A and B are shown apart, each in its own frame.
Chain A
Amino acid sequence: MATQTTPKQATPSRVDRMRSWASETMIAGRPVIWYVTGWRFALIALILTILLPLVPYDVYPGIQSLVVAMTTVWIYVMLALGLNIVVGYAGLLDLGYVAFFVIGSYTFAAGTFGQLHDWTGGGVFPVPTFPMIWLIPIGALLAGFFGILLGAPTLRLRGDYLAIVTLGFGEIVPIVFQNLPTFFGNLGMSATQPAPIDTPFGQITFTDPLNNAPFYYLALGLVVLITLGVAALRDSSVGRAWVAIREDETAAETSGVNLTRTKLLAFALGAFVGGIGGVINTAFVPSILPVNFNFNVSITILIMVVLGGIGSIPGVIVGAIILRLFDVYILGLINDPIHQSALVAPATAPLHFLANVDFNVMKYLIYGIVLVIMILLRPQGIIPDARRRRELKGIGAAPEDMSAVGLFEAEEAGADIPALDNLDQTAYAGEGSDAQGRDS
């Protein structure tokens, strides 16, 4: 027909263009895409993070503050990985994760200030100041023990009720520590530095402000270990049992899964990792400030998990990196330039009000907005877990092959999800079996 225009040439989407760029551009005889998929991406990312503290001052003057920021990023990655065991795998909404962080923190303080020594009469802990390398497992085990203790009364609870009780524990634990006279109450403790470690290659000090590499590597090493451990458990009978109870408790039980044991295991392992994070954080900061142990910590870690992709290890890592880096580094970077440019702008300029806005104060508002947008547009997270994505999209969705670190696939898959559809589904996200019950 003459009047009809030729069919519109479909313009390639951003993803298509990225993909074709990635498969056409060659580096060392391989297309870019070869490097950025699957384990190779993880390996390259790991090598880059290992090299980071070695960047000399001359190349980038802000390197030490970046290394410091990245160290706290790794600490939060640990915490997010730990919470992901409880929330992502076992499907138990824990709003009091800060409790285990606090237990780890005070364990370190008690080990460095001598309380552990005093309490045990010097038998178990012969020296007042205990080396950090021993306080890490001690703090982790103590936190894990309290994970079981606090998890046990919540076993019969689900969904909202579980969330409220865990929220309570998250408030109670820090208050208990604040009220133990030995820990100086609200004043907290400062200078809880770890002692230097003697190695065959020389002494490693953790307190040199000009060389933050030892702590950075310690935190990064722990992240790698925890990641490997969590991945191993996820792909084991334990991991399957977690998914099974998340999907259908009754069916899991009649298939031989001991609910009590499996849930407590998730709580204990999550708490164990949280304890490690607490120990490292207190050693690194190096102080205890009880006002910082609040609900915000629990909720920030939960946002990291949800933002990255609940139940997905690469997702949770990316979510924690983005949020924590934003918090401790990017906010600081953007605050001053924005203030200055807003100040020099004429008072009538629309963005002039930014001159009086402190973005550090507004960060929870920003997190909140990001979270709402995320839940509306992409509830499965940045790098979703294949199973969780199915749950969020509803039952009966066609199975799709998702590689764990397949950034390109993740990007593309997210593009075709109608927002309203997801809004409806997220209401059921916490109670997978109910959503399925409806269906059958």
Chain B
Amino acid sequence: MAQAQPLLQARSLTQTFGGLTAVDNVDLDIQSGQIFSVIGPNGAGKTTVFNLITGIYKPSAGDIIFDGQPITGKRPDQVLRRGIARTFQNIRLFNNMTVLENVLVGQHTKMPGDVISALFRLPYYTSAERRAEQRAVELLGFFGDALVAKKDEYASSLSYAERRRVEIARALGSGPKLMLLDEPTAGMNDSETAEAITYIQRLRREFGLTILLIEHKLQVTMGISDRIAVLDYGKKIAEGAPAEVAHDERVIEAYLGRASTAG
């Protein structure tokens, strides 16, 4: 390949749940700086791939290499420390914490690890806490001042779109290299979706992020992806630039059914 080693490589990634093979021998190569989309019908195994990459599931077989290091079987917090952050399809904020606290939890890895410094409020702890708060406000500011103004409200009181943003702000807190966004525009109307597209592109530009995206809306994936992989029944059935994938027979079949039955 023309480019150097990919930022994230998955090699024959497989996950079985009992008799069901949710992810079947999937290979992925995500180059640094790309916006890479994973699409596919419901139940195709997209979210399972995310859970495998972020360590929520341990793969039944296969390897994941991030930044030249194997991360297969690492715990979620270890994966985050390596530089992979994520959001969830059904937003998982800490609802009874404030917006600011949510984003502060996202910076947990940046805080001193010992109890003593927190217990006695040692200078290096308090300065880390101050930095984290400043950073949290900056991260919320990425989505505009309206969100900053709500930093002391409980997360559950925010609108749906706002909660998605807070979740991204929380994920940004660890300073990741790769961001996994699981259906970031799910449940959004057209104008909110358009806004989401802009900030996904801004994430890449302003934070130098590589983005791995699960998305159903074709306007989003076709519009901003550098590359798209299509999953169906756990198998990768196609991969390529948006235009190539859109004309791939197997992809059309997976989404619309067989041409013969249609005709």
| B-side contacts of A255, CB under 8 Å | 80, 105-106, 108, 170-171, 173-174
Chain A residue nearest in CB terms to B121? A232
- Per-position 1/0 for B29-54, Cβ under 8 A of A: 00000000000000000000000001
Least distance between A391 CB and chain B CB atoms (Å): 6
The reply to whether B108 and A240 form a contact with Cβ atoms under 8 Å apart is: yes
Known contacts A236-B125, A240-B104; A254/B118 CB under 8 A: no
CA distance A282 to B54 in the complex (A): 49
Could you say which of A146-154, A191-199, A339-347, A395-403 contacts chain B? A395-403
B105 and A250 contacting across the interface, CB-CB below 8 Å: no
Contact partners of B93 in chain A: CB under 8 A: 251
Chain B interface bracket (under 10, 10 to 19, 20 to 34, 35 or more): 35 or more
| Complex CA distance for A432 and B157, rounded to whole angstroms | 16
CB-contact partner of A254 in B76, B90, B91, under 8 A: B76
Check: B162 CB closer than 8 A to any chain A CB: no
**Is A390 an interface residue, CB under 8 A from the partner?**
yes
Set of chain A residues within 8 Å of B76, measured between Cβ atoms: 250, 253-254
The answer to whether B101 and A240 touch across the interface, beta carbons within 8 angstroms, is yes
* Chain A residues in 8 Å Cβ range of B121: 232
- Closest residue of chain B to A258, judged by CB? B77
The docked-state distance in angstroms from the alpha carbon of A387 to that of B91 is 19
In the assembled complex, B115 has its CB within 8 A of some CB on chain A: yes
Which B60-102 residues sit within 8 Å CB-CB of chain A? 75-77, 79-81, 85-86, 88, 90-97, 101
Q: Report A-chain residues with C-beta under 8 Å of the C-beta of B80.
A: 254-256
Contact call A237/B156, Cβ cutoff below 8 A: no
Task: Check if A238 sits within 8 Å of B115, measured CB to CB.
Answer: yes
Contact status A257-B154, CB under 8 Å: no
Shortest distance between the CB of B174 and any CB in chain A (Å): 6
Q: B94 is contacted by which of A232, A233, A244 (Cβ under 8 Å)?
A: A244
B56 close to A240 (CB less than 8 A): no
CB pair A232 B157 closer than 8 Å: no
Asked if A247 and B129 make an inter-chain contact with CB atoms under 8 angstroms apart, the answer reads no
Residues in chain A near residue B129, CB distance under 8 A: 236-237
In angstroms, how far is the closest chain B Cβ from the Cβ of A80?
19
* Interface positions of B (Cβ within 8 A of A): 54, 56, 75-77, 79-81, 85-86, 88, 90-97, 101, 104-109, 111-112, 115, 118-121, 125, 129, 132, 153-154, 156-157, 170-171, 173-174
